[in-house]
Copies of this chain bind each other. A is one copy, B any other.
């Protein structure tokens, strides 16, 4: 590097000066910094990373970046990493396993130093490679891979509480609209829902509908089908706010009154839920914190001073709004 020549020092001194090493006179450091700046010099990323064996990048794998809940998590991740000068790479998989593996390779090849999984699954590529566990954390959705920490909420308990709330309002024919059955997060919510129903002696009315997607469109279509039934539910617990938005839309379209005829509860507390009509009662998930804590956990895990924390459960909160009406009795 010719900054060395210009400064009349050895390249290694330039390197030390620019990376803020202590073992360089402040005077020398300043002089080199000035020369570098004047010449618009910045160290080549790939060369540094090759030598120092760090990418200074963390990869976040999301199933779908357009889903309502992920951007806020990513925001939290960014905030945590920014403080450490670490960049964030995003990859969305859309459930495509091939794509998942391609992204996984970013970790294996050293393009990223760590992985934050929001998709609830460790890519196949890591099977039989337990040494990568310490470079991976799962956020929002747990994964089945030994040694990978999880940061999320207690979904079972949240669904339980939400269902109990509906029951406390006098609702009994409560339907649970959920996401893919295979996803542990939806399984947990369904479990909490069933527990509450059973506890209230309403098991006979319990019904879980697992949908392949938890989008607005998906919720809309599901309710269209349900509204053709002879006996309508009097409440619906939705596994995402998006499902609830679509579902409520369908009700409106056929003149079913919300919350009078059917009450709705969502999951996420997306910003829209407050502006929606009726404002949506929903389980608030600390998305940003999940991302923030997840990133911090990852950094600690990578640098080896993680005291075997296997799961961090953050608090959720049931936000009561008008979509469930008031107590009927």
Binding site for B on A (CB under 8 A): 40, 42-47, 49-50, 55, 57, 64-66, 70-72, 74-75, 78, 82, 85, 87-92, 99, 102-103, 105-106, 108-111, 129, 215-217, 220, 242, 245-246, 248-249, 252, 271-272, 274-277, 279
Candidates B43, B90, B103; contact of A74 at CB < 8 Å: B90
Given contacts A87-B103, A252-B277, A276-B276, 14 further A-B contacts (CB under 8 A): A42-B108, A42-B109, A44-B50, A44-B110, A45-B110, A45-B111, A50-B50, A57-B89, A66-B72, A71-B71, A88-B89, A216-B274, A245-B275, A248-B277
Q: Which residue of B lies closest to A272 (CB)?
A: B272
In whole angstroms, what is the CA distance A40 to B102 when docked? Answer: 14
Q: Which residues of B contact A91 (CB under 8 A)?
A: 78, 87-88
Task: Given the known inter-chain contacts A65-B75, A71-B66, A74-B65, please indicate yes or no for A90 contacting B88, CB distance below 8 A.
Answer: yes
Candidates B45, B66, B275; contact of A249 at CB < 8 Å: B275
CB distance from A38 to the nearest CB of B (A): 12
CB distance from A114 to the nearest CB of B (A): 14
In whole angstroms, what is the CA distance A102 to B85 when docked? Answer: 9
CB distance from A72 to the nearest CB of B (A): 6
In whole angstroms, what is the CA distance A129 to B40 when docked? Answer: 9
Q: Which residues of B contact A271 (CB under 8 A)?
A: 215-217, 242
Q: Which residues of B contact A276 (CB under 8 A)?
A: 245, 276-277
In whole angstroms, what is the CA distance A249 to B274 when docked? Answer: 8
Q: Which residues of B contact A279 (CB under 8 A)?
A: 249
Q: Which residue of B lies closest to A47 (CB)?
A: B50
In whole angstroms, what is the CA distance A45 to B55 when docked? Answer: 9
Q: Is the CB of B87 within 8 A of A106?
A: yes
Q: Which residue of B lies closest to A59 (CB)?
A: B87
Task: Given the known inter-chain contacts A89-B87, A277-B277, please indicate yes or no for A45 contacting B220, CB distance below 8 A.
Answer: no
Instruction: Among A40, A89, A129, find the residue whose CB has the most chain B CB atoms closer than 10 A.
Output: A89
Q: Which residues of B contact A109 (CB under 8 A)?
A: 42-45
Candidates B49, B85, B89; contact of A90 at CB < 8 Å: B89
Q: Is the CB of B46 within 8 A of A111?
A: yes
Q: Which residues of B contact A72 (CB under 8 A)?
A: 66
Q: Is the CB of B129 within 8 A of A272?
A: no
Q: Which residues of B contact A43 (CB under 8 A)?
A: 109
CB distance from A66 to the nearest CB of B (A): 5
Task: Given the known inter-chain contacts A42-B109, A50-B50, A249-B274, please indicate yes or no for A99 contacting B75, CB distance below 8 A.
Answer: no
Q: Which residues of B contact A64 (CB under 8 A)?
A: 75
Q: Is the CB of B75 within 8 A of A42?
A: no
Q: Which residue of B lies closest to A287 (CB)?
A: B66
Q: Which residues of B contact A92 (CB under 8 A)?
A: 75, 78
CB distance from A125 to the nearest CB of B (A): 9
